[in-house]
Each structure stands twice: as C-alpha cells, then as structure tokens.
C-alpha cells in the first residue's frame, strides 16, 4: 500500500509540472549555390510541392509497408504567410527532400508510422522524377528521424485519398545556414492521392523512387506536404522539469521514511 501511495503522490507531482512543449522555431536561412545567394527572413515552415511522389511497398508483410518519398520546396512560410524567395521561385537553386518510413496498418483505413528518416538537400536545379535523379545530391543541409506518426485514408470508387501527421527529431543541420542555431525537431502534415486521373501525366513516367522500383502490389501516390520546424526547449523549461523531478524525489523519500 505504501508503494502505491508513493506512486500516486509522484504522479500528482509530475502532473503539476508544466510539460515541455516545443515552440515553433522562427529564424532565417541563407542559401548559397554557386554565385547565387538568397536569405529567407523570419520563416518556420517549408512547403513542399504538391507534385511529390510516394512509393509504398506493401510486400514486406500483411500489415506493414515501407514508404519512399521525394519532393522539393516550393516556398517558405511564416505560419500561413508566404515569404518572398524570388531566386528559389526562378529555379536558380533548389531544395529537395527525401524520406523513407515504415508503417503498420492499425484498424480500418488507419495506420501508424513506426520509424524512418528524412533529409533536405541544397543544390542547383537538376531534379527529375522520371529518371529518379537529382534529389539526394548537392549539399545535405538538414536530416532527422521519424519519431512517430498516424494517418488514415478513404476510398471513393477506384481512387484513394488520405493524409497523416509525423513528429520528427532533427539530428543534424548546417548551422551556417540557419539562425538561430536552435532547431530541435519538426512536425510534418501531408496528403496523399491514389489513382486520380489528374495525376497520371506526372506519376505514370515514374518507375522508381530512391532506387526502389515500382512493382506488383506497390502503390504510387501523388503527395503534398510541409515541414514545420520546432525549437529546442528553452533552459527555463529544463529547469522546471528538474524542479518537478526534485519534488517527486522529495515526496518519495518522505513517504519511504514514514
């Protein structure tokens, strides 16, 4: 009974400690490719093209699937506000994104994303979906892992529409590009479309993604998405967490001593 009371008291103290919620990162990025330099001021979101592709390999298990995604950045946003980046818009350089993940069907048309990784690349414009080239080249400016994710889809006739959300951890980035140097993670929201006639002209020539061929049983989606950057928690948040843990320890010691 004493152990149960200690656990209850510790849980109550932990609930009383404010959770460390990552704030949205807001900063600048300066990209240099050859003779072209462009600085993007006060942004927090990368918006990827709606003409992205996701190859889903469903042959790895009855409930599991491996996904391979690639696209490119079309614009930078501060929340929902467009940030001017004329050099990027003119195609004088490009920022591409590649990602892979493992997912598991949960119930009905829902799924959970278990793991994965992603990276952003800066270079001259040379991407080509049909030849599966020009995405993971140039200079890697950011990379991370997929911590978790969920999604769902709905089928209408032969078409399928879906979406999901991912929580990401940033494991590395070029600190010479981003200011302030406080990027810690990210959130990604994406939408998927399968067998829509409007996508045929784009998707049909694509036979592989990241070197993974489109084969029998695989699915090929038109994918749209974004990456919202989050910041490393402030020192004050860590201090509150440590204080909360100290309270828990004190309660446990006092209860045990009785």
SS3 255: helix
Question: pTM of the predicted model, to two decimals?
Answer: 0.82
How many domains does the chain fold into?
1
Q: How far is CA 160 from CA 47, 196, 220, in A?
A: 23, 8, 11
Residue at 154 is within a domain: yes
Which pLDDT score, from 0 to 100, does residue 141 have?
Answer: 98
In a domain, 57, yes or no: yes
Tell me the residue range of the domain where 222 lies. 22-234
Percent of the chain with pLDDT over 70: 81
Q: How far apart are CA 71 and CA 223, in angstroms?
A: 8
The answer to whether position 220 is within a domain reads yes
**What is the pLDDT, as a whole number, of residue 107?**
85
Q: Which residues of the chain have pLDDT under 70?
A: 1-22, 233-258
Provide CB contacts within 8 A for 157, sequence distance 6+.
none
Secondary structure percentages of the chain, helix, strand, coil, to 5:
20, 55, 30
- Strand, coil or helix: what is 158? coil
> What would the pLDDT profile of 3-12 be if each residue is shown by its tens digit?
222 222 222 3
In a domain, 179, yes or no: yes
- Residue 252 maps to a domain: no
Domain-embedded: residue 77: yes
pLDDT at 59: 79
- Cα torsion 225, 231, 237, 238 to 10°: value is 110
Largest CA distance in the chain: 74
- Residue 58: per-residue pLDDT: 86
Q: Report how far residue 7's alpha carbon sits from residue 255's, in angstroms, rounded to the nearest whole number.
A: 10
Residue 49: inside a domain: yes
Residue 96: name the closest of 62, 67, 132, 64 by CA: 132
- The verdict on residue 29 lying in a domain is yes
pLDDT at res. 2: 29
């Amino acid at each position: 009974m004493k152990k149960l009371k200690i656990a209850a008291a510790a849980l109550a103290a932990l609930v009383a400690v404010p959770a460390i919620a990552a704030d949205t990162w807001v900063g600048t990025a300066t990209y240099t490719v050859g003779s072209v330099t462009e600085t993007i001021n006060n942004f927090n979101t990368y918006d990827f093209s709606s003409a992205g592709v996701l190859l889903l390999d469903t042959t790895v298990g009855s409930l599991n699937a491996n996904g391979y995604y690639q696209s490119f950045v079309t614009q930078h946003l501060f929340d929902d506000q467009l940030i001017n980046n004329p050099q990027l818009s003119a195609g004088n350089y490009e920022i591409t994104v590649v990602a892979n993940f493992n997912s598991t069907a949960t119930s009905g048309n829902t799924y959970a994303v278990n793991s994965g990784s992603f990276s952003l690349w800066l270079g001259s414009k040379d991407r080509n979906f049909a030849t599966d080239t020009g995405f993971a080249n140039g200079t890697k400016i950011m990379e991370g892992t997929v911590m978790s994710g969920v999604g769902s889809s709905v089928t209408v006739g032969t078409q399928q529409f879906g979406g999901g959300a991912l929580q990401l951890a940033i494991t590395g980035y070029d600190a010479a590009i981003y200011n302030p140097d406080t990027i810690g993670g990210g959130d990604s929201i994406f939408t998927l479309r399968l067998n829509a006639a409007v996508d045929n002209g784009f998707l049909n020539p694509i036979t592989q993604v990241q070197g993974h061929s489109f084969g029998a049983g695989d699915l090929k989606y038109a994918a749209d998405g974004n990456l919202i950057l989050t910041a490393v928690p402030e020192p004050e948040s860590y201090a509150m967490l440590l204080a909360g843990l100290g309270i828990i320890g004190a309660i446990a010691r006092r209860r045990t001593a009785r």
